Structure 1
Amino acid sequence: MTSPRTRWIGLFVISLAVSLIIVDSTIVNVAVPSIVDELGITSTEVQWVQESYTLVFAALLLVFGTLGDRFGRRRMLVIGVIIFMLASVWAAFADSGSALIMARVVQGVGGAMILPSTLSTLNATFQGRERGIAFAVWGSTIGGMAAVGPLLGGWLTTAYSWRWAFGINVPLGIIILVGLMLFVVATKDEHPQSIDWTGALLSVVTSAFLVFGLIEGRTYGWWLAADGLKLGDWEWPIALSPIPISFAISLVAGALFVWWGLRRERAGKSTMLAFSLLRIGSFRNGNVAALIVSMGEFGIILSLPLWLQNVLGYDALQTGTILLALAGGSFLASGVGGSLSGRVSAVATVRAGIAAEIIGLILIGLVIAVDTPWWSVALGLLVYGVGVGLATAQLTGVVLQDVPVQASGQASGTQSTARQIGSALGIAVLGTVLFTSLGSTLDSRLDAAGLPPEARDGIVSAVVDSAGSAIPGLEAESPEVAAEARQAFSDATRFAAFTAAGFLAIGLLATLRLTAPVPGAATGRRPDDEPAVASGESSDSDPA
């Protein structure tokens, strides 16, 4: 047994490890315009810089949770932190968009090792009331670091370079590694489940080809291949675009994934997702709602920093400060949510939160213009943040409310995966909406201004491919064209905000199929049971 002091210091170290991956997933948002300027990456690559990390993270979350149970949770944590650090160094020294994207892919692998290992380590280290406190600290760390990320990224990018937004992970990683070896006890499951490698592969293929199609459709052609289409140095040989082929592969792989999982489940073997739990209405409908809500929640964060910097002219630090309003709303909501606990049902709180998110996004969409004052954007983000704070934490409890205690680990792992997939899809869809509408709107405005097609096409390509970073440069050449570009980017950002609000509205409708928990329901859970923890794994150190 470890001493209480060692356990609590270990909790601090584990929370720091979570901070590493949460900060990195948010710190990049405000650094993107600087990355575009220095590396000259295209708008499609901008999406991939953020998407590649989220996609790999979501695809491997359950796999590494199971591997950590089998081979040791602290060992998986250490390996994950080392991989994350090395990938951060790679990203910091990247000299091209493709190198940065590959580094982000490897970062996603490290992050997928870290997150489930922190959860299962806490689950194995703490019991009883201490476990509840430990998970509260863990959850608060995620909320706090999501707020710190944009501000830290803005400061590092403005004062030094966007490369330090990745380089900061190295000293943090060294501190974490030392702390893990000194204060975190090594644990593993004495009776680990077998690993569903086939299911893991099918899940990766399903999500990867789906997101590829959503992001690359506007470049390669949604149905017919774009003229002169090449994949690298290879010329595409047929008239049909690779995009419908990509969607077809995703559909087939997804169907095989479900078939394979149900087959293994009937044979009594472990599965990547908890298919049997999908028969529970609150679990099934709650995961659908969580996925849709995540699409709306995280997708909009791609477009706002680009608009704030390329259209309104704020630097990265000012942009991070404006985005801090979102975190302020989330913190405010956490206090309100605590006071409502026991008096208002969790489902009602979730619905109120999603409604507040929708209102916040509508407010942002309504005020977006080329001369929008910062405070009006911050006000919308504050309302939006209140909604995030109310909805996110409570939705977890709603999803798990009817799940038997013995299945809570797999159920919470499934829910985490649904959220991450929703985030990945949100970035893909809303990024495509942003840049597609930017191109069409700018083309129409320049056409109305009387520009010939050749000049028009060049300007539209420059603005869209640079994710808006070419707009300030247009000012010296043609203030009128720059003004049209700023207006078009504002219109596209507004459209993206309203689209995100639309996803959240669908998510709100999905919550109508959720019901408030019934104490003592026939699920094996008693009113005084500990809440299910979002571990994705079971503890091997709980007393029998």
Structure 2
Amino acid sequence: MPPHENTGHPRRWAILGVLVISLLVVVLDNTILNVALRTLADPVHGLGATQGELEWSINSYTLVFAGLLFTFGVLGDRAGRKRFLLIGLALFGLASLLSAYAQSPAQLIAARALMGVGGAAIMPVTLSIIANVFDPRERGRAIGVWAGAVGLAVAIGPVLGGALLEHYWWGSVFLINVPIVALGVVLVALLVPESRDPNPGRVDLLGVVLSVVGLVALSYGIIDGGEHGFDRLVVWGSIVGGLAVMAWFVAHERRSDHPSLDVRLFRVPRFAAPVAIVGLVFFAAMGVMFFSSFYLQLVRGYSPLETGLLFLPFAGAQLVFAPRSAAMVHRYGGKAVAAVGLILTAVALGAFAFIDATTPLWVVLVVFFLQGVGMANIMPPATESIMSALPREKAGVGSAVSNTVRQVAGALGVAVLGAVLSAVYRADVEPALRDLPAGARETAGESISGAYAAAGQLGPAAPQLIAVANDAFVTAMHWAAALAAIVAAVGVAVVLRWLPGRPATPTAAPTPAGEPELAGTA
């Protein structure tokens, strides 16, 4: 075939637009949820959720999503990617309806888990379809647009969520997904071609069960320990049990001839390094995004809409810089671009360790902008490197690994940094609560949201409690932010040591002689 001939689908850019809409519904929901956390914690206008329940409202989605992602990628390759995309959109729309009308935190957590099932069917097939409808020479640009769509959702989500919460009840932030899903279903049915893997893999049911059980047990121990203390047997039993199940999962995957996650891939630096980078940056960033919403709405007193607008520098940076990242990689190499992106991200996350209740607002906006620029220059080169390490027909493997690690790391980031936040807050605020009534003392000691709820019943003593809670929260935020910055800094070391220094060649499939681990997946 002549080298100048484009092997992509004639409607590939229109198809990319449809896939962006499908991706928007997944990312939009999580960005909206960040702004809604404060309202969900309100016992009057929300569900009265504790900090642990709020963490589970995020993690029930992400852990189910991550546990099923790889398997659903295989099923999409087998049954048809278009068909799976339609099924995923329908499930996501149904779960959004159930979330909107949940009557308790437990119901919301369950509905969010169902939403994770739908998201797991949507996400892997979008990248797989991109890899199949685009010529390899255009794939980097297409992935840059795909990554830019994440920035668009990050931009739209907080502002839209804030506007909805200003005028409607909290359930509207989930109900908004339904018309987007409906539009996506129609456009997918009309425009997206069906595609399959000519040699699809088998489904690893035991691997799926082990991964979900292990991650849920590990997250439960971390979240519950952070909320109620790590001096209890159930906490350490859950953590150790979760780690043991995850070790069983890894051993099973190494022996299986049809693993849900081929752990042999992680022996190959050009595949493992970008996956590790994705995991480290999302571990750090998702935890910081979790507590920054409480900082803005409670400590600083901004409304949900104002909070959404304050996230715009982060979102705008993603939207502007992510599509240009592919050109930067072509010019300077993936190592240089990703290293600079991670350094900017680490600096931005570390800056939260110095932000307090009186920090000028422009400083906070600059920090959000730097974080957005940094993350915009991490995901595209990492994703392209991951996808380029596998043959074109096995694109589902690369997309599933990338997204699985991202979701697991994000969930663990929320759990671990949330646990640090809870533990430091509780230790710092406890001495000031001894003179309060028992009920108010217990509520205020759980979280800053609980302190604000308790303050509403204390009359003249309320301002003092709020001041103490704000100080304790800011101290806890500093510790969590410092840990996040350290994790991001580890990512810089991974980039400098293992990420390839020049752009990957997307047209070259790995050879069995050069990469036996990758050859096994081909």
CA distance in 1, matches of 2:504, 2:467: 62
Deviates more, 1:146-155 or 1:396-405: 396-405
Match of 2:38 in 1: 33
Cα 1:475–1:484 shift into 2, 3 Å = farther
CA distance in 2, matches of 1:133, 1:355: 24
The yes-or-no answer on 1:258 pairing with 2:266 is no
Figure out how many residues of one structure are paired with residues of the other and give that number: 500
SS at match of 1:516: coil
Deviations 1:375-398 (A, max 9, x none): 221111111211111222223344
CA distance in 2, matches of 1:404, 1:182: 28
Q: CA deviation at 1:123?
A: 3.1
The yes-or-no answer on 1:124 pairing with 2:124 is no
The yes-or-no answer on 1:176 pairing with 2:184 is yes
The yes-or-no answer on 1:243 pairing with 2:226 is no
Contact 2:230–2:236 at 8 Å: present in 1 too?
yes
Match of 2:164 in 1: 156
CA distance in 1, matches of 2:504, 2:55: 46
Match of 1:443 in 2: 430
Match of 1:146 in 2: 154
Contact 2:141–2:326 at 8 Å: present in 1 too?
no
Match of 1:76 in 2: 84
One-letter code aligned to 1:255: A
Q: CA deviation at 1:25?
A: 1.4
Match of 1:364 in 2: 352
CA distance in 2, matches of 1:519, 1:13: 28
Match of 2:441 in 1: 459
One-letter code aligned to 1:164: S
Deviations 1:430-457 (A, max 9, x none): 111112211111124x16xxx53x6488
Contact 1:433–1:496 at 8 Å: present in 2 too?
yes
The yes-or-no answer on 1:386 pairing with 2:394 is no
Q: 1:430 aligns with which of 417, 425, 437?
A: 417
Match of 1:477 in 2: 460
Contact 1:280–1:403 at 8 Å: present in 2 too?
no
Give the % identical residues: 34
Match of 2:401 in 1: 414
TM-score of the pair, normalised by structure 2: 0.88
Match of 1:229 in 2: none
CA distance in 1, matches of 2:149, 2:324: 18
CA distance in 1, matches of 2:128, 2:325: 26
Match of 2:517 in 1: none
The yes-or-no answer on 1:325 pairing with 2:313 is yes
Contact 2:164–2:172 at 8 Å: present in 1 too?
yes
Match of 1:48 in 2: 56
The yes-or-no answer on 1:24 pairing with 2:25 is no
CA distance in 2, matches of 1:153, 1:428: 23
Mind listing any 5+ residue stretches in structure 2 that lack a counterpart? Answer: 1-7, 511-520
Match of 1:507 in 2: 491
CA distance in 1, matches of 2:480, 2:168: 31
SS at match of 1:39: coil
Contact 1:92–1:163 at 8 Å: present in 2 too?
yes
Match of 1:294 in 2: 282
SS at match of 1:492: helix
Cα 1:355–1:109 shift into 2, 3 Å = same
One-letter code aligned to 2:382: L
TM-score of the pair, normalised by structure 1: 0.84
Deviations 1:188-239 (A, max 9, x none): 3343211111111111122111111111113454243xxxxxxxxxxxxxxx
Q: CA deviation at 1:160?
A: 2.0
Deviates more, 1:54-63 or 1:141-150: 141-150
CA distance in 1, matches of 2:13, 2:325: 26
Q: CA deviation at 1:79?
A: 1.3
Q: CA deviation at 1:502?
A: 1.9
Contact 2:282–2:406 at 8 Å: present in 1 too?
yes
Q: CA deviation at 1:469?
A: 4.3
Q: CA deviation at 1:424?
A: 0.8
Q: 1:217 aligns with which of 217, 221, 225?
A: 225
Match of 2:65 in 1: 57
Match of 1:238 in 2: none
Cα 1:395–1:5 shift into 2, 3 Å = closer
Deviates more, 1:173-182 or 1:306-315: 173-182
Q: CA deviation at 1:56?
A: 1.1
The yes-or-no answer on 1:15 pairing with 2:2 is no
Contact 1:220–1:242 at 8 Å: present in 2 too?
no
Cα 1:328–1:34 shift into 2, 3 Å = same
Match of 1:195 in 2: 203
Contact 2:148–2:318 at 8 Å: present in 1 too?
no
Contact 1:60–1:200 at 8 Å: present in 2 too?
yes
Match of 1:277 in 2: 265
Mind listing any 5+ residue stretches in structure 1 that lack a counterpart? Answer: 225-240, 527-536, 539-544
CA distance in 1, matches of 2:492, 2:455: 39
CA RMSD of aligned residues (A): 2.8
Match of 2:340 in 1: 352
Q: CA deviation at 1:51?
A: 1.3
Cα 1:303–1:467 shift into 2, 3 Å = farther
Cα 1:215–1:138 shift into 2, 3 Å = same
CA distance in 2, matches of 1:460, 1:405: 56
Q: 1:137 aligns with which of 116, 139, 145?
A: 145
